[in-house]
Homo-oligomer: A and B are copies of this chain.
Amino acid sequence: MTELLPVAVLGARGRMGAEAVRAVEAAADLELVAALGSSDPLESLVSAGAAVVVDLTVPEATAGNVRFAVEHGMHAVVGTTGWTAERLADLESLLAGNPAAGVLIAPNFALGSVLATAFAATAARYFESVEIIELHHPDKIDSPSGTAARTAQLIAAARTAAGVPAAPDATRDQLDGARGARVDGVPVHSVRLRGLTAHQEVLLGSPGEQLTIRHDSYDRASFMPGVLLGIRSVAQHPGLTVGLDGYLDLRAGARP
Q: Which residues of A contact B (CB under 8 A)?
A: 110-113, 115-131, 133, 135, 138-144, 153-155, 157-158, 161-162, 167-183, 187-197, 203-225, 229, 243, 245-246, 248-256
Contact of A112 among B172, B175, B211 (CB under 8 A): B211
| Whole-angstrom CA separation of A178 from B130 in the bound complex | 16
Q: How far is the CB of A123 from chain B (nearest CB, A)?
A: 5
Since A115-B122, A119-B122, A195-B206 are in contact, a sample of 12 more A-B pairs with Cβ atoms closer than 8 Å, ordered by chain A residue number, is: A122-B248, A127-B194, A129-B194, A131-B192, A139-B168, A142-B174, A144-B175, A153-B256, A161-B252, A175-B188, A187-B192, A212-B212
Q: Is the CB of B154 within 8 A of A256?
A: yes
Q: Which of B127, B170, B245, B252 meets A125, CB within 8 Å?
A: B252
5 pairs, CB–CB < 8 Å, chain A vs chain B: A115-B211, A135-B203, A141-B170, A193-B204, A212-B216
| Chain B residue with Cβ nearest A140 | B170
Residue with the greatest number of chain B CB neighbours at <10 A, chosen from A170, A191, A204? A191
Q: Is the CB of B196 within 8 A of A189?
A: no
Q: Closest residue of chain B to A201, judged by CB?
A: B212
Q: Is B112 a contact partner of A204 (Cβ separation < 8 A)?
A: yes
- Asked whether, in the complex, the Cβ of A195 is within 8 Å of the Cβ of B177, the reply is no
CA distance A121 to B256 in the complex (A): 9
Query: Given A115-B126, A118-B254, A254-B250, do A181 and B177 touch, yes or no (CB 8 Å)?
Result: yes
Which of chain B's residues have a CB closer than 8 A to the CB of A133? 133, 189, 191
Q: Which listed residue (B111, B116, B197) contacts A206, Cβ 8 A? A: B111
